[in-house]
Amino acid sequence: MSILNLKNKIICGESIEELKKIPSESFDLIFADPPYNLQLKNELTRPDRSKVNAVNDKWDKFKNFKSYDEFTLTWLKECKRVLKKKWKYMGYW
């Protein structure tokens, strides 16, 4: 995949698969909204006493914390790979 084909595009797909198609050091910025693994078994409340709703969608379901951690580490490594080096060495990574 050429970086020129990515300009001003939204890529839909499984994040890790799509990230692997992108050339290394292509981007200055990465904005991510990953799954938060909010499969709550008990009620959870915020400090203002409002209830936190659990997420029951397939995209946010993981077998266990280990599989969630592995997924998170994998997509973060791919993000680091596609991020331009100048940002990696400025203390952000």
The model's pTM is 0.70
Distance CA 22, CA 18 (A): 7
Question: Can you give the residue ranges of every domain in the chain?
Answer: 3-92
Q: Is 85 exposed, middle or buried (0-12, 13-18, 19+ CB in 10 A)?
A: exposed
Least confident of 2-11, 24-33, 36-45, 63-72: 36-45
Task: Kindly provide the residue ranges of all beta strands, DSSP E only, lying in the chain, ordered along the sequence.
Answer: 44-45, 51-52
Residue labelled with tokens 């998170």 = 72
Give the pLDDT confidence of 45-92 residue by residue, as tens digits: 889 989 887 777 777 778 888 998 999 999 999 999 998 887 555 555
The token duo for 14 is 């499984």
